[in-house]
Structure 1
């Protein structure tokens, strides 16, 4: 197929609503002395701005914004970012320096190794580009899913999204065994993920870049929330939005490739893809 599919991890490969997002809420609550605990909607609204992919930075920003509503400028707060990160990690990773014991241990998986095997059998190269730390990403990919040395670009390897540097690095690693690259699909669950694809397209227009949105489990609790989140991803550039990553089957990827080859705009692509369903 000469196609590359690259997956984000959080919200795509694993459900982080009870881990990363819980740790984020815990952190904000702690540093606002219990006065404010952000709701899932609050967190989504922040992330819809497209620049808060790093949950440590997102925690700090929500703390700042809370105190600003109380009339305290952020310049006067004296927040220590290292303390914020340390508190967050104690919740998410746990306090044992040798083993994961925190919220990370209870993350539901959103795809299975057999799904990735289907992609391989269809001749589709795949890998991962995530803002998670390498240790956290490897925990889910290797320890939980049993993948052997998967292609991975993590937090330590590249600037945070929506900077596409890490996406480019992942493509270079996967492209080594491809004679003629057709399309690159990046699968993510946030506005920052879709913005990353757009920036990649602007910097490397000679390649065909497709953003596929996936709805994280927490937004599927109500139809209104689900539909609003899906529209946000589409507005950010997602060609299609799926309920689960495993809906991106080899057949669907082939449909994306065919529709893209015909040219046209995003609306034409979406219409073509939905006609295949």
Structure 2
């Protein structure tokens, strides 16, 4: 019998996209500004901290606009440029260089402790399935991807994942959502507004690129707490079944 549900973001939580998605984002901005501006990791983090730019294509477009409003950007062409860098022509781009932050055994432990689990990510389905199925070896995991729901912090995708995970004979199970951005934390606060009778937990994790051991890491964690994180951990593997049992 399930005791609760744990739903994970993917980027920065399951895989380290600091040298892939963010690299492609920086490449895209640099390309459209003709080499005049390449955003740093800190600048990308600051944009993400606004809680509005979970979609990296739109984040790229926004940074270009903030650099120079007069730069003409065809959004479809921008997406194609980004994808050519990130995914490559046949999944041979930056996506192949992403370190994994969890193992299949991690999810086996969750199941053994009566926790249902799945994924709600802003990544495209093919990209998300590449990491979940091909690299992690998970068999048909519950996944709500970019094509399936509105952008975060809209909680529609979270509710869709819950609907697939929650047995009909045990409605109202407590739910934790694990993410690394302000938008991820706001998903839970928005979900709680729509379904206040359910127990919700927003769990923040610090992605590898922000694990600097200095004020930058502290500020990253503080920002997640400021936008609603119930707890912030240094990585996904630190979110053990024992910790989850105290939260759900």
TM range (shorter): over 0.9
Work out which of the residue numbers 134, 157, 160 in structure 2 matches 1:143.
134
Query: What is the match of residue 81 of structure 2?
Result: 87
Equivalent pairs counted in the alignment come to 247
TM superposition shift of 1:143: 0.2
Larger radius of gyration: 1
Equivalent pair of 1:50/1:190 in contact (CA under 8 Å) = yes
Distance 1:59 1:178, change over 3 A: farther
CA distance in 1, matches of 2:211, 2:19: 14
Equivalent pair of 2:32/2:71 in contact (CA under 8 Å) = no
CA distance in 2, matches of 1:158, 1:242: 27
Q: How does 1:219-234 map to 2 (within 5 A)?
A: 219-234=210-225
Work out which of the residue numbers 136, 151, 157 in structure 2 matches 1:166.
157
CA distance in 1, matches of 2:164, 2:55: 24
Equivalent pair of 1:3/1:181 in contact (CA under 8 Å) = no
CA distance in 1, matches of 2:235, 2:109: 16
Query: What is the match of residue 39 of structure 2?
Result: 38
Larger deviation: 116-125 or 219-228?
219-228
1:235 and 2:226 matched: yes
TM superposition shift of 1:180: 4.5
Query: What is the match of residue 13 of structure 2?
Result: 12
TM superposition shift of 1:106: 0.6
1:104 and 2:115 matched: no
Residues 36-93 of structure 1 show CA distances to partners (whole Å, capped at 9, x for unaligned) of 00000000000000010000000000000000xxxxxx3x543100111011001000
Residues 8-48 of structure 1 show CA distances to partners (whole Å, capped at 9, x for unaligned) of 00000000000000000000000000000000000000000
Query: What is the match of residue 23 of structure 1?
Result: 24
Q: Which has the higher helix share?
A: 1
Structure 1, gaps ≥5 residues long: 68-73, 258-277
Aligned-partner SS, 1:252: helix
CA distance in 1, matches of 2:18, 2:37: 18
Give TM-score scaled by structure 2 length. 0.97
Equivalent pair of 1:197/1:211 in contact (CA under 8 Å) = yes
Query: After the TM superposition, which segments of 4 or more aligned residues of structure 1 sit over 4 Å from their partners?
Result: none
Structure 2, gaps ≥5 residues long: none
Give TM-score scaled by structure 1 length. 0.87
Computed over aligned residues only, the root mean square deviation of the Cα atoms, in angstroms, reads 1.1
Q: How does 1:70-219 map to 2 (within 5 A)?
A: 74=69, 76-94=70-88, 96=89, 99-176=90-167, 179-219=170-210
CA distance in 2, matches of 1:195, 1:179: 26
Aligned-partner SS, 2:163: helix
Query: What is the match of residue 254 of structure 1?
Result: 245
